[in-house]
Amino acid sequence: MKRRKFDAAALPAKTAGAVDDRFQVATPLRKLLNKVFPDHWSFLLGEIALFSFVVLLMTGVFLTFFYEPAMTEVVYNGSYAPLRGTPMSAAYASSLDLSFDVRGGLIMRQMHHWAALLFMAAIVVHMMRVFFTGAFRKPRETNWIIGSLLFWVGFLAGFTGYSLPDDGLSGTGLRIASGIMLSIPVIGSWLTSSIFGGEFPGEIIISRFFIAHVLLIPGLLVALISAHLGLVFKQKHTQWPGPGRTNENVVGERMFPRYALKQGGFFMVVFGVIALMGGLFQINPIWYFGPYEAWVVSAASQPDWYVMFLDGSTRLMPAWQINIPIGDGYVIPPLFWPTVVLPGILVGLSTMYPFLEARQLKDYKHHNLLQRPRDVPARTAVGAMAVAFYIVLTLSGGNDVIADKFHISLNAMTWAGRIGLLVVPPLAYYVAYRLCLGLQQHDREVLAHGVETGIIKRLPDGRFVEVHQPLAAADHDGHGELDYVGWVVPKKMNRLGALGPAIRGFFYPIERPAEAPVSPGHPPVEPRPEREEITSGERR
Amino acid sequence: MSIHTEHQTPQGREPLDVNDPRASRFDIVQEGARRDDIEIVHYEEQVVPGSKAERRLTRTVALMFLLTGLAATAFLVIYIWWPWKWEAGRGGDKLYTPLLGLTLGVALLGIGFGILTWGKKLLPKEVSIQDRHDQPGPAEDRKITGETMLYLADELGVKRRPLLGVSLVAGLLPVGAVAAAPLVGGLISNPHKNNQMFTTGFAPAEGGKKIRLVREDGRPIRPADVSAGGQLTVFPGIEHGVSNKHADSPTLLIHLREDDAQKSREANSRAGHGDYMWGNYAAFSKICTHAGCPASLYEQQTNRLLCPCHQSQFLITDNARPIFGPASRRLPQLPIEVDEEGFFVAKSDYTETIGPDFWERP
Amino acid sequence: MTSDNDRRGGLLARLRGRPAARSRGRRRLGAAVRLIAALTLAGGAYTVFAPGVQAQENPPLTGAAAEGKALFDVSCVTCHGRNAQGVEGRGPSLVGVGSASVEFQVGSGRMPMARQEAQAMRKPPVFTDEQVRQLGQYIQELGGGPQVPAGNDLHRNADMAAGGELFRINCSQCHAFGGGGGALSSGKYAPSLKPASDRQIYAAMLSGPQNMPVFGDNQITPEQKADIIAYIQETLKHDQDQGGFNLGRYGPSTEGLAIFLIGIVALVFASLWIAGKS
């Protein structure tokens, strides 16, 4: 047999051919590489959550190598002197070892925790983007529901993880969680006893939380995230209205060559920010908290930020206890309403919102173009109301810290929260609504009369008027005939190119190389002929 | 590569023979895009090859990658050689973790921004338009799929043979229950076993022996051990009394000042707890009746007890009545007395339920 | 009210002037002061054992106590009354509170109070250490009470781990795990332990200032107090933040703030740049 010379250059092609022979991937891969993604900064917010999740998986796997999920009592004998000789659970001891006796363990722990906070924060910010731009409308209701579920599953992941070190602070959180479960009518005590394996705290809860935190919940998260991304791929991303953009197309960049590079780079940036925070900012210093002991507590005991709104609602709840005088008597404690009923309502409202809105507006069409928040004042106002509600609750969750550091009475903070919860959301609704209307009005004004030039002209009769640059050829009474198409209206002269090309560069101006062609991104002062062709796609 | 701007619709563009030897790589890419209903309407070099701008950008990107290498090397050096162990007296090295974070962060940001600059500045700008094709499938296909599924039901003939359907359900339901049974059966645990929700470690031992109040180190307590205006966390003097095994037992022993004690006694006798205090000493459960945190922020002048978790406030001199916040129930009081050896003992167990409320509590 | 404040302010200004003028003489008489300190200790012991001494109109005072009385009569008498018997609605009686209480309240600048509020705040102290000692001696001789042992380092060779355990049982509920303090009901608060000296922490435990419960020597022994002080001074204050900047040690509140103000803001800027027109 003749020995062939090894041809390195032909190797990739050969391998690719061999792979396609077996898996027939060439066509689907071509489709994937060619897929067009619209480009806007707000479309990258969800990616932050996705990339933090990847960091969470990586750092989390590292932590499991050293963490021992057991409540067996041991006497700590590690490096950290102020706790040496203290009896504690094996879980807490191993968390301390992770921080003090595993080389680089502390930064991994801190990165894991910061990534968790970032994951939840990015989910919330992304959710707000989707809400305020109407990206949840048909056909994307399912993905909105999956996204909302991701928040709640992430919430569970966060809470179970927060409890694992079994330190004084997280143990207090666990104690409250058991109180919340106890408060559920009829089944409360059975549920709590079953989850904790007896009376609180029992000896099993950390092991159970561990398996939930490292297997069940991440599994669910991976499944939901895959479904979420799969649907984005299948349904294609929404886009803002604009020149050439319709409800039937996607205008943007293909996955290859540029979009994929940007995504890869952004992943590294998210990873880098988490690493910086994990190293530079201390988070959850468990060695101060000591082991969990039922009689130990600290001032300013708070959960992580995404649970704080529930803590806030609990703090604001008046002491309304419902006694049911049947038999020996039964009771529904006040803890039940803000911690079980309220989240239930929030889950229901948030997942059902797309359907509620569609029903309200009788709008059952497909929508692939986003809406500017100002163009849908009612939705924007409802969103502002929800955000205000959430912020009041979250602030109330830290009201003792605010009271202490700003020298306000704690009782006054509670009352401010109670009143604020009723007053601020409607106020936010009203203000947001008026802001939207005002912005809309201004857009229409500019379209009708043109851009303010800053040039003041004195008329023969002595009046002063400002010269406006119309955006389109004016009709006989000086008014343009442009319709609003749901996208940014230029409101400054240099947006029209009047003052020369806009300055390029993000932090400092970049001089345009002379030989490069002029980008068409800046429309000239004269209305462009194709402007008439622009449609939002909504008005077809 | 030159500037390509095309304005034909995808349908308007002629298919290209990809095996045509004259076709450039970009032509083939464009043909691929055409097949995916993509029109590349704008594709333009951002920098002219060989220009000053290109050289500058290349240097910038290279610098970022080199910075990454440098930072990553620094990370390794610090990781290996920097003193990091916590040592008694000196403490740990406070710079170890921050330095690791700094070098790792810079390394990752270096790659990130390097790649981003490469992609953003050196690759051609493009605007492509792809058709969505998100119209529902053809009506005929919908009909065919629907009919195919119904066809299965027809062939099974459940309508004609109802016994099959009924027996299938009758058989499957128990199987479903079997799937759930081990989970539910294994996890379920009776909350009222040994009456555990209504008893604490202070329940008198067998033979009616009263349980001593002890400190965290197990020493019993004499009245003289707590000064007026002082408080002490006490535990049942039993095995594992000072542990999470008796998480509902920690109790706050408070030595009230004379006039506060007087008020407290009056409140107690109004509540029928006339003999719960011993002298000026009163003992209240430390476990908040709201969510179970240790409510232990005792203000010795106002005689309020604050819970740090949800800010419930209890007035000790009025039998620990909740006066602010979400708690709706008094802190249970432990009846105490002093035994013949001069140590505090619990006269009996708590007469009310400890800890957070639950449905069948009364 | 304002005139009252003004008058007090004037007195304080005069008082501030005095020690500077006397300091040289006092330095020269260092040995004499030590003698006086010894005498005051003896005097303190005497007052503890002499029953009903506070009832006497003019109890015999040692030198330091006499100095203290002079200070008291100019600065404290307005609220605490003649012979520290207290004034209804203005200030409590100081008979029997001991020098520990004076050392804490005056030494940390809480007394004299600027105005009546929910709680006295720590301020730059008005009196020098020596004057605080004199005042303390006076109060001690008036009615006895708890005293802080001598020396500035009260936690030598103490057991930090035992102190940590005691700190978490007795202190952290109000002063927080990190010692940063916390809110109490209706505008009151537990102060941060950061600026507190060994002697002040000891004095606070002994005397139970304001709403802090009393932790007498019968309840927490002097050795245990030393352990607690060791834990506070060596562990909490000696900046054992292994993980970088501690964000004020306010717990999850500031951590949540940081993730938005730093993490999200940085990444939003990054995405603005990535998606921006180049």
Chains in contact with C, where contact means 3 or more Cβ–Cβ distances below 8 Å, are: A, B
Q: A309 at the C interface (CB within 8 A)?
A: no
Single-letter residue type at B117: T
Q: How confident is the model at residue B95 (pLDDT cuts 50, 70, 90)?
A: confident
Q: Evaluate whether residue B171 is within a structural domain.
A: no
For residue C250, is pLDDT > 80?
yes
Q: What is the pLDDT of residues A206-219, one digit of tens each?
A: 999 999 999 999 99
Domain hosting A212: range is 43-241+252-291
Q: Which of A166, A199, A163 is nearest to A86 (CA)?
A: A166
Q: Do B300 and C212 touch (CB under 8 A)?
A: yes
Q: Per the domain annotation, does A114 fall within a domain?
A: yes
| Ranges A296-305, A476-485, C38-47, most confident | A296-305
The larger pLDDT score, comparing residue B322 to residue C74, is at B322
Of chain A, the percentage scoring pLDDT greater than 90 comes to 69
pLDDT of residue C62: 77
pLDDT in tens, B46-56: 888 888 889 99
ipTM here: 0.91
The shortest CB-CB distance from B190 to any of A193, A295, A321 is to A193
Has residue A320 been placed in a domain? no
**Interface touch C245/A298, C-beta < 8 Å:** no
Model confidence at C24, pLDDT cuts 50, 70, 90, reads: very low
What pLDDT, on a 0 to 100 scale, did the predictor assign at position A433?
A: 97
**What pLDDT was estimated at residue B10?**
47
Whether B223 and B337 map to the same domain: the answer is yes
Query: What sign for the dihedral angle of Cα C99, C101, C106, C109?
Result: positive
Select from B106, B130, B154 the last residue of a domain: B130
In the predicted model, what is the mean pLDDT of chain C?
A: 77
In a domain, A366, yes or no: no
A82/C234 Cβ within 8 A: yes
Whether C161 is in a domain gets the answer: no
Evaluate whether residue A219 is within a structural domain.
yes
Give the residue from C212, C219, C235 with the most B CB atoms within 10 Å of its CB, the best one to mutate. Answer: C219
CB A444: neighbour CB atoms within 10 A?
14
3-state secondary structure of A66: coil
Q: Please tell me whether residues B29 and B125 are part of one structural domain.
A: no
Query: What's the whole-number mean pLDDT along residues B148-159?
Result: 87
pLDDT of amino acid A79 = 87
Out of A268, A280, A517, name the one closest to residue B44 (CB). A517
Instruction: Check B48 against A516: CB less than 8 A apart.
Output: yes
Distance from CA of B262 to the nearest CA of A (A): 27
Tell me what the mean pLDDT of segment A45-52 comes to. Answer: 95
Whether A139 and A327 have beta carbons less than 8 Å apart is answered as: no
In a domain, B18, yes or no: yes
- The alpha-carbon gap from A208 to the nearest alpha carbon of chain C, in Å, equals 24
User: What is the pLDDT confidence band of residue A367, given thresholds at 50, 70 and 90?
Assistant: very high
Across the interface, whether the CB atoms of A258 and B123 are under 8 A apart is answered yes
pLDDT band at residue C123 using 50, 70 and 90 as cut-offs: confident
Supply the CATH number for residue C112's domain: 1.10.760
The kind and range of the H/E element at C225 are: helix C222-230
Cβ atoms of C126 and C29 within 8 Å: the answer is no
**Domain with B255 in it:** 206-346
State the pLDDT at residue A483. 83
pLDDT above 80: residue B256: yes
Indicate if B25 and B61 belong to the same structural domain: no
Residue A393 lies in a domain: no
> Is B5 in CB contact (< 8 Å) with chain A?
no
Can you name the residues that pair with B125 across neighbouring β-strands?
Answer: B44
Confidence of residue A223 (pLDDT cuts 50, 70, 90): very high
**Structure confidence by residue, pLDDT tens digits, A495-507:** 776 666 556 666 6
What does the pLDDT read at residue A228?
A: 96
Chain C residues with CB under 8 Å of B97 CB are: 242-244
**Do both B245 and B308 map to the same domain?**
yes
C219 labeled binding residue: no
Q: pLDDT tens, A304-351? A: 999 999 999 999 999 999 999 888 889 999 999 999 999 999 999 999
What pLDDT band is residue A475 in, cutting at 50, 70 and 90?
low
Write down the pLDDT at residue A281.
94
Chain B residues touching A317 at Cβ < 8 A: 326
| Rounded mean pLDDT, C15-19 | 43
Q: Are B337 and B301 in contact (CB under 8 A)?
A: no
User: Structurally, how many domains does chain A consist of?
Assistant: 1
Q: How far is B93 from chain C (nearest CA, A)?
A: 7
B301: pLDDT strictly greater than 60: yes
Residues A315 and B290: beta-carbon distance below 8 Å: no
Q: What's the gap between Cα A399 and its chain centre?
A: 24
Q: Test C184 with B299 for CB contact under 8 angstroms.
A: yes
User: What is the arithmetic mean of pLDDT over B137-148?
Assistant: 89
Same domain for B77 and B18? no
**The pLDDT value given to residue C59:** 57
Per-residue confidence at C207, pLDDT binned at 50, 70, 90?
confident
- Who contacts B115 (Cβ-Cβ below 8 Å, separation ≥6)? A261, A264, A265, A268
Confidence band for A3, pLDDT divided at 50, 70 and 90? low
Whether residues B216 and B113 share a domain: the answer is no
Residue A15 in domain: no
Candidates B46, B94, B98; nearest CB to C239: B94
Secondary structure of residue A467 in the 3-state scheme: strand
Residue C28 lies in a domain: yes
- Confirm or reject contact between B81 and chain A (CB < 8 A): no
- What is the pLDDT confidence band of residue A521, given thresholds at 50, 70 and 90? very low
What pLDDT, on the 0 to 100 scale, is given for residue A152? Answer: 94
CB contact under 8 A, C267 and A405: no
- Residue C36's pLDDT band, with cuts at 50, 70 and 90, is low
CB contact under 8 A, B193 and A200: no
| DSSP track, B119-170 | IIIISPEEEEEEE---SPPPHHHHHHHHHHHHHHHHHHTTTT-HHHHHHHHH
pLDDT digits (tens, 9 = 90+) for A413-456: 999 999 999 999 999 999 999 999 999 999 998 888 888 888 89
**Pick from B114, B130, B360: which is nearest to A36 by CB?**
B130
Cβ(A177)–Cβ(A159) below 8 Å: yes
Helix (H) or strand (E) holding A432: helix A410-449
Whether B241 and B312 map to the same domain: the answer is yes
pLDDT of residue C55: 44
pLDDT of residue A438: 95
Chain C residues within an 8 Å CB radius of A97: none
Which of B85, B107, B128 faces A253 most closely, judged by CB atoms?
Answer: B128
Tell me if B269 is assigned to some domain. Answer: yes
Task: Give the number of domains in chain C.
Answer: 1
pLDDT score of B315 more than 70: yes
Does the pLDDT value for residue C27 go beyond 90?
Answer: no
Is residue C155 marked as binding? no
End-to-end CA, chain A: 69
Predicted confidence (pLDDT) at residue C26 exceeds the cutoff of 70: no
Residue C246 lies in a domain: no
Among A380-394, A397-411, B219-233, the range of highest mean pLDDT: A380-394
Q: Where are the beta strands (DSSP E) in A53-113?
A: 73-75, 87-89
- Asked whether the predicted pLDDT for residue B7 surpasses 50, the reply is no
Q: Does residue A477 have a pLDDT over 80?
A: no
C4: enclosing H helix or E strand: helix C2-28
Residues A150, A346: Cα–Cα separation, whole Å? 14
CB contact under 8 A, A295 and B116: no
Of B308, B313, B327, the CB nearest to A299: B308
Domain assignment present for residue C251? The answer is no
**Is the pLDDT score of B169 beyond 80?**
yes
Query: What is residue C16's predicted lDDT score, i.e. its pLDDT?
Result: 45
pLDDT band with cut points at 50, 70 and 90 for residue C128: confident
User: Is residue C209 in some structural domain?
Assistant: no
* Contacts C168 to A, Cβ<8 Å: 168, 290, 293, 296
> How high is the pLDDT of residue B345?
93
Contact between chains at C274 and B120 (C-beta distance less than 8 A): yes
Tell me the torsion sign for CA atoms A367, A373, A374, A379.
positive
Residue C66 is predicted with a pLDDT of: 82
pLDDT band at B8 (very low <50, low <70, confident <90, very high): very low
Residues 6 or more apart whose CB falls under 8 angstroms from that of A150 comprise A49, A123, A221, A224, A225, A228
Give the mean pLDDT of A268-282. 95
Token digits of residue A490: 């230029």
Domain identity same for B228 and B308 = yes
DSSP reduced 3-state for A24: coil
How high is the pLDDT of residue A182? 93
Burial degree of A1 (CB within 10 A; 0-12, 13-18, 19+): exposed
Residue from C160, C218, C235 whose CB has the most chain B CBs within 10 Å, to mutate: C218
Question: Touching check for B194 and chain A: CB below 8 Å?
Answer: no
Residue C46 has pLDDT above 60, yes or no: no
- Quote the number of domains for chain B: 3
User: For residues A417 and A403, is the Cβ–Cβ distance under 8 A?
Assistant: no
- Residue A236's domain is classified under what CATH number? 1.20.810.10
Q: How confident is the model at residue A535 (pLDDT cuts 50, 70, 90)?
A: very low
Residue B72 in this model has a pLDDT that exceeds 50: yes
Is there a single domain that holds both residue B254 and residue B339? yes
Residue B138: pLDDT band with limits 50, 70, 90: confident
The amino acid that residue C124 corresponds to is: P
pLDDT at C12: 45
Contacts of A161 in chain C (CB under 8 A): none
Put simply, the answer to whether C240 touches B92 (Cβ < 8 Å) is yes
Asked if C75 and C15 count as a contact pair (C-beta separation under 8 A), the reply is yes
Q: Are residues B258 and B311 in the same domain?
A: yes
Regarding whether B126 and B67 lie in a shared domain, the answer is: yes
- A183 and B38 in contact by Cβ < 8 A? no
Domain membership of residue C64 (yes or no) is yes
CB distance B356 to B292 below 8 Å: yes
Average pLDDT for residues A47-68, to the nearest whole number? Answer: 96
pLDDT of A509 reads: 66
* Local confidence band at A382 (pLDDT 50, 70, 90 cut-offs): very high
Nearest CA in chain C to B121: C278
Mean pLDDT lowest for which of A512-521, B324-333, C247-256? A512-521
B259 touches chain A (CB under 8 A): no
The CATH number given to whatever domain includes residue B230 is 2.102.10.10
Compute the nearest-CA separation of A286 from chain C (Å).
10
- Structural domain of residue C55, as residue ranges? 1-147
- Is A323 a domain residue? no
Q: How far is B177 from chain C (nearest CA, A)?
A: 43
In the prediction, which pLDDT does A263 show? 93
B233 CA: distance to closest CA in chain C (Å): 7
What percent of chain B is modeled with pLDDT above 90? 45
Average pLDDT on A99-114 reads 93
